[in-house]
Structure 1
C-alpha cells in the first residue's frame, strides 16, 4: 500500500507541474477536502476545480526537490517540495502582482481512501512569500 500511495501522490504532483488540473481532479475521492494554508476548507471536486482556475490565472508554479512519504498502510501520505513561482495577477488581499518570482519551501499531507485522494492539507510560510514578492 505504501508504494501505491507514493505513486498516487507523485502522479498528482506530476499533473500539477504539467498544469493538468483535469488529471489532478480525476485523482480525487468524491468526499474530497482541500485544507488551504491560512485559509478555509474546500469540500468537493467543484470547489477544488474553482481553486485551480483561480491559481492558474494568478500564479505560475512548478514544484521541485519533491520527497514523497507514506504510512505503512497507505492511508496517509506527505510530500515536501520547493515551489518555484511567478506572481501573475494580484490576488485579493495580497500585495500587487508585477510578475515577481519566488522560491518557497512547502509541504502537504494527504488522506487516501479507496485508492483516491480524500484530503490535501497544504502548508507554506505566507510571511516569507510576502517578503519575497514585496
Structure 2
C-alpha cells in the first residue's frame, strides 16, 4: 500500500466517523502537530484527542486534493472542513451547534504503512468568526 493509499484510507475513515479504522492506520509513536498548541506524541494522546474532537465537533471533509512526493513518505492534503460546533472549548466561543465551513490543509508522513506524523493548518480567526456570527 502506498503512502497515498494509507492517507486516503485515513481520511475516508475520518469522514465515516470510523475512529477505530482511522486509528489503526496510525503509528504507535505518532507525532500530531495541531494548528494551535503543543505536539502530541504517541497513540494514547492522539486517541484521546480524536475522542475529544468527536465530543466537541461533527466534521466532514470535502473537496480533498492529495499531493504526493517521489519518496512515497509524505502526503499533503488540502480540504474544506464542514462542521458543527457541539461542545465549547476553553478560550473559544460558546457552542450552540453552529455550522462552519473553513479551508484547511494537512501534511502527513507515512512509514511501514502507518502514519507517523500529522500536521494540520487552518485559519483559527476565520473559524471563530464563523461560529460567532
The TM-score normalised by the length of structure 1 is 0.95
Superimposed CA distance per residue, residues 57-85 of structure 1 (whole angstroms, 9 cap, x where no aligned partner): 10000000001111111111110000000
CA drift at 1:7:
1.2
Partner of residue 88, structure 2: 90
Partner of residue 72, structure 1: 70
Separation (CA, whole Å) in 1 of partners of 2:7 and 2:77: 8
Partner of residue 35, structure 1: 33
CA drift at 1:48:
0.7
Separation (CA, whole Å) in 1 of partners of 2:32 and 2:70: 23
Q: Once superposed, which parts of structure 1, at least 4 consecutive aligned residues long, lie more than 3 Å away?
A: none
* Superposition map of 1:112-131 within 5 A: 112-131=110-129
Superimposed CA distance per residue, residues 87-133 of structure 1 (whole angstroms, 9 cap, x where no aligned partner): 00111111000110000000000111112100000000000000001
RMSD of equivalent CA atoms? 1.0
Structure 2 segments unaligned to the other structure (5+ residues): none
